[in-house]
Amino acid sequence: MPWQELPEAPKSVLDALKGKARILVDENVGADVAQFLRDQGCNVEFAGDVGLAGKDDAEIAAYAWREKRMIWTHDSDFLDDTLLPEHRNPGVVVLPGANGDLQSTVGGLRTALTVFGHGSQIWSKTKSTVSPDGEMTIRRRNASGQVTTERYRLTKDGAEQWEE
């Protein structure tokens, strides 16, 4: 099935999105991205500035959980439930551009900032990826307890969801 326009979000969701997200920018994304996000008004810590330079993913995940900070990274290992189980997941956003493609990183950051840059708690326990063209997949547990993976993209008029 094709992309379907998302209806306007209910007030409860809009309320949950108030406020800036608390973000931990992984070392592989870079200090420049962390500074850019700070300049946009985000509450950001850079892994290299908080003693996590060269640390393994498990230590980064533990820090992010303790500090209630979403992890923004290029490292898809954070999508692994063995490394980062749901009950200790502060929220993960895997950004494009790990291969050094600046244009992909910028495109992904634009989408991530728009979608994930607000309301940290609503993104807790989710694992998301952003593609270079701004398409997103978001994995989470729904109200009935099932783990779901959904695809979204932003449009000039709002957002759309892929319906299978």
Nearest to 111 by CA among 129, 98, 124: 129
Angle (nearest 5°) at CA 73 between 152 and 119? 55
Predicted pLDDT at 1: 67
Q: Is position 4 within any domain?
A: no
d(CA 145, CA 138): 15
The gap between the terminal CA atoms of the chain, to the nearest Å, is: 5
Q: What does pLDDT average to in each consecutive run of 10 residues of the chain (164 residues)?
A: 88 83 96 95 96 96 96 97 92 94 91 90 93 93 91 92 90
Q: Which domain holds residue 32?
A: 9-162
Total domain count, the chain:
1
- Cβ(47)–Cβ(55) under 8 Å? yes
Find the farthest-apart pair of alpha carbons in the chain and give their distance in angstroms, rounded: 47
Q: Is position 2 within any domain?
A: no
Predicted pLDDT at 102: 87
